[in-house]
Structure 1
Amino acid sequence: MKPIQLLSFDLDEYRECRSQFSTDEWIDLLIRSIGLEPSHFDRRLKLLFLVRPIPLCEQNYNLVELGPRGTGKSYAYQELSPYAILLTGSTTVANLFYNMATRRMGLIDLWDAVAFDEVADLQKMPKEVVTTLKTYCESGTFARGKEALSGSASMAMFGNTNQPVEVMVRSSHLFVPMPDVIREDMAFLDRIHFYIPGWEVPKMRIEFFTDRYGFVVDYLAEALRELRRHNFTELVDRYFSLDSHLNARDVKAVRKTGAGLVKLIHPSGEVAKEELAELLELAIEGRRRVKEQLQKMGSFEYHQTSFSYIDIESREERYVGVPEAGGRDLLSTDPLAPGSVYVSSVDEQGKVGVYRLEVGCAVGTGKLKVAGGIDSTMKESIQPWLPLSSSAVMEGRFL
């Protein structure tokens, strides 16, 4: 007879064995346990791979990954743990949460993580499911009939993008692959703790799969489940504080992502300041990606997206951006044409705007014409000096 499941798991032994590895060696071991050969990937991509199993070791964690097909988005929930379930279609409140007819809990009580594959197929999912899921993703509680119930299962959503990320960033937003029933509810999207940039993950090729040793899947699954019982969300306070632009949900998301990465890479909870800063920056980036898209979708209440963290000891503040935003190339380094200038402004709510003003003069009566997509307040504030014998056309473009 061959055992198919561990009888018991010793977390202290697991932590002791971890101490015999360097951080890089341990990360490579985890990547090989997932089935991939780490020598093909850089440090950032390895950490993105490790974000995928965070719902397996962190309770009530909400994850989204949207990217090209064939990048292994749902692999961890099919093969890595027997405590996760992957749904490939829409579901009902009774199946997912609680069946009032049979008085039985649904999937959130049976599994540590519930994943939705091909989110585009959830278009026909009842609105009631999204409403209940929205409440659950916020606090881990929900109401059905007269019952107030709770669960600890994490949620993950995976979907495929049909356009290059550059097109989505310029023409719309990164939640476009989501079905309307989810995308139209911005309050639900605000519950997402981390958005994995799936477009950075290469399509899986044969040479990416490893033939070297890693953890047995059952053993790693037991380790992740045991770590769910521990809380590492306060570790960030040892060395850092978060900026005021992060509201309560932002702070919660960053803390939970940081805690999940520490559980995976430093299961004892002992992590150096420099390594914690690296994990914290990734956690902030994943949450900021969510807020940036909510801002693009037109809601003013999400305008504060300049996320940063502060070193408690040195008081140095470090801002964290998202790579796909392309902020470094927003202003061209080429010399401007005569009559052109870049300007910036900050309104009463702290919203920053960057503009390029272009002025052209022509023979006329001295009348000023303002063209371009600028509002009335800015038009009224423009009072340039013009010769009486000329006219000018000023065009403002919001960058």
Structure 2
Amino acid sequence: MSALDDKINERFPGLVVRKDLVKTVKGNAIVPSYVLEYLLGQYCATNDEASIQSGIETVKEILRKHYVHRNEAGLIRSNIREKGRWKVIDRVSVDLNTDKDAYEATFANLGIKHVIIDSATVKAHPKLLVSGVWCIADIEYERSEDKNVEPWILGTIKPIQLSRFDHDAYLAARAEFTTDEWIDLLFQTVGFDPTMFGRRSKLLQLMRLIPFVERNYNLIELGPKGTGKSHIFSEFSPHGILISGGEVTVPKLFVNNSSGKIGLVGYWDTVAFDEFAGRQKKVDKALVDIMKNYMANKTFSRGVETLGAEASMVFVGNTKHTVPYMLKNSDLFEELPEKYYDSAFIDRLHNYVPGWEIDVIRGEMFSSGYGFVVDYLAEILRHMRNDDFANRYQELFSLSPDISTRDRDGVNKTFSGLMKLLFPAGGATDGEVEEMLILAMEGRKRVKDQLYRIDSTYPATAFSFTAKNGRQISVTTLEETEYPAHYHRRAAIEDNEAEAGSPSAEGRPTPTVVTEESQVRTIAQPNEGHRVFAENQKGVTFGDLFWPWLSGASRIVVTDPYIRMFHQIRNVMELIEAIALRKAPEDEVELHLVTCPDAMYPDKQQANLISVEQAAAIAGVRFSWEFDGTGTIHARHIVSDTGWKVSLDRGLDIFQKFEMSDAFNIANRLQTYRSVKAFEVTYLKV
């Protein structure tokens, strides 16, 4: 148990669960995860391991004895008849029978209806009347001579799914957490270990929750396979549905004109399309046209009648190519089905989450810490769909007049969703408001910049905003920073359309492009200066960072108090490799490390440093080290005898966690394929 886990249990008793327990208890019960988490929250919301194990056994026993499998419903009904009473776990919904002036319950899996339920229970658990609630109930059987009287009698009933919540208590408890703690709590709630991810990566993944808290929000996420794009939409909330992008039809999604039945957008808060990408997928053009109108106006037509809905639309799919390949040869929407590769459809998207910034999910990334019972958080988020936080930046910042109304809508809705998730009761600092606004603008800018490449009628837009003190903040996407030579391209102007390339193999025209002047700063000679690197940025290597300033040095001193753990010592070895690859074979370089001893494993630390010393000697690098006796050093820098000092705010520990033990993982072999943490470097002549 971490200090955060203790705090979570203290502030939200009975509403949180340890996230690694769900798989332990599920077995073959086809019951939603949010129901299992509710049960675990009742019996395992503690930090005592013995109580947790006892609670797990209790939950397993409850499921084994009382969960109703549909194929065993007849047997359970027979048991109730023969024994007179039986306890069951089932989804119960309630209707008011006006003829009898009574509430009647229906048990979905058990297959019985018209079970009388008292008014007090219905009033205490109003969700029974809306969409049904999973309950544990005692059912009795009493045969009556009157054929109009049902034999099923409800003895007791207890919801095992959240049926009501205290929103004010949620807001009050939020005030007890710092922003970082709250982000980690939400991140553990969706099932991931926050220590494995940086702040930006956490926020990008939490953006997947915005459709649950924001009405009529249009989100797209495209990226490599295996990054967990669809997980939240399939398991997180009883108010969202995940469907295959190739299976949807106009009647299923919007309305069946022959029957008049409303489709999915009328019943769900979020409709997510899985496996949405695929150029060759067949798509009904009528569906695309209706969807474009719905995404823009929140309405759709049923014959002569216009209907409205508030379901958010989410599109998730896989990309086949790397980001630089797409930027050089096409655009970031290249994998959309042909009929969706339409500027009018793309322009209606509020946010493009860069799926390529999110790591492929590995086993160690899953959380064993505490998070909300997801049904509880789902109800909180649904309740907050009534709120609008879009104006909470306007006292501090004003958007550039270049930003169109549709762009503003996208920015405002994303910003509103982020603020509801992270600051539901307010209290964000000016810096945090700015951070959320930058993320919101970046998501919409990613859409608009690609439209600029796809359709020549879209003008270039400066995504920036101004603080009340006059400071101007320009927003860039990470891929714009990494690949400026390929990013700044646009569709051919109309005069050149006739000269565009012949249709590609996929049936799309190959656009003529105009490349703007590259913004890459090539460093031919070492100069004084300062460089800033964003979280998740790739293409950074020790050679590019340091060698121009270390070239020609015969002695280099690295001062870093945090060369203790294995991955930190490995960083030293990789710095030696960079030097060995670039120096002349006949030269020798002395590399001296000043660091601090590891208080927990000093012997292991020294053994690893001795191994580095032995390995470096083969390459003509004489490695030595010393431990700072005072324990007071905190600055991290590299100084060479050529008169250069490289100041590092993170030392050599600039890379995010990667699969270090996998010899076939390219990030393990080459630094340029690793994501970095946010860090800064300053080069000084001394």
AA partner of residue 311 (structure 1): A
1:85: how far off?
A: 0.4
The yes-or-no answer on 1:205 pairing with 2:362 is yes
Matched with 1:161 is 319
The normalised TM-score by structure 2 is 0.47
**Alignment gaps of 5+ in structure 1:** 332-346, 357-399
Taking the TM superposition and a 5 Å limit, the aligned residue runs for 1:273-352 are 273-297=430-454, 299-312=455-468, 314-326=469-481, 330=485
1:271: how far off?
A: 2.1
The yes-or-no answer on 1:102 pairing with 2:259 is yes
1:232: how far off?
A: 1.0
The yes-or-no answer on 1:6 pairing with 2:162 is yes
The yes-or-no answer on 1:140 pairing with 2:295 is no
2:189 and 2:374 in contact (8 A); partners too: yes
1:11: how far off?
A: 1.1
Secondary structure of 2:461's aligned partner: coil
**Alignment gaps of 5+ in structure 2:** 1-135, 137-157, 487-492, 494-513, 519-686
1:204: how far off?
A: 0.3
1:20-66 per-residue CA deviation (whole Å, 9 max, x = no partner) reads 00000000000000000000100100100110110000000000000
The yes-or-no answer on 1:21 pairing with 2:177 is yes
Structure 2: how far apart are the matches of 1:165 and 1:159?
15
Matched with 1:229 is 386
Taking the TM superposition and a 5 Å limit, the aligned residue runs for 1:355-366 are 355=517
The yes-or-no answer on 1:92 pairing with 2:254 is no
Secondary structure of 2:449's aligned partner: helix
Secondary structure of 1:148's aligned partner: strand
Secondary structure of 2:314's aligned partner: strand
Secondary structure of 2:379's aligned partner: helix
1:342-373 per-residue CA deviation (whole Å, 9 max, x = no partner) reads xxxxx9xxxx97459xxxxxxxxxxxxxxxxx
Matched with 1:262 is 419
Structure 2: how far apart are the matches of 1:252 and 1:149?
22
Matched with 2:195 is 39
1:326: how far off?
A: 3.3
1:102: how far off?
A: 1.5
Q: Kindly tell me: are residues 288 and 251 of structure 1, through their superposed partners in 2, closer, same or farther at Cα, counting changes over 3 Å? A: same
1:57 and 1:228 in contact (8 A); partners too: yes
Q: Kindly tell me: are residues 213 and 355 of structure 1, through their superposed partners in 2, closer, same or farther at Cα, counting changes over 3 Å? A: closer
Where relative contact order (Cα < 8 A, 6+ residues apart) is larger, the structure is: 1
Structure 2: how far apart are the matches of 1:269 and 1:107?
33
1:363-399 per-residue CA deviation (whole Å, 9 max, x = no partner) reads xxxxxxxxxxxxxxxxxxxxxxxxxxxxxxxxxxxxx
Secondary structure of 1:233's aligned partner: coil
AA partner of residue 264 (structure 1): L
The yes-or-no answer on 1:74 pairing with 2:235 is no
The yes-or-no answer on 1:125 pairing with 2:280 is no
1:169 and 1:325 in contact (8 A); partners too: no
1:113-171 per-residue CA deviation (whole Å, 9 max, x = no partner) reads 00000013582221111101001101211222111110000000001010111100111
Q: Kindly tell me: are residues 328 and 182 of structure 1, through their superposed partners in 2, closer, same or farther at Cα, counting changes over 3 Å? A: closer
The normalised TM-score by structure 1 is 0.81
Percent identity for Structure 1 against Structure 2:
45
AA partner of residue 138 (structure 1): A
2:277 and 2:316 in contact (8 A); partners too: no
Matched with 1:50 is 206
Structure 1: how far apart are the matches of 2:394 and 2:517?
38
Structure 2: how far apart are the matches of 1:301 and 1:148?
30
Structure 1: how far apart are the matches of 2:303 and 2:263?
15
Task: Please identify the structure whose Cα radius of gyration is greater.
Answer: 2
Count of aligned residue pairs for this structure pair: 334
Secondary structure of 1:290's aligned partner: helix
2:438 and 2:475 in contact (8 A); partners too: yes
Structure 2: how far apart are the matches of 1:99 and 1:329?
48
1:91 and 1:125 in contact (8 A); partners too: no
- Return 204-213 or 141-150, whichever deviates more: 141-150
Alpha carbon RMSD of aligned pairs, Å? 1.9
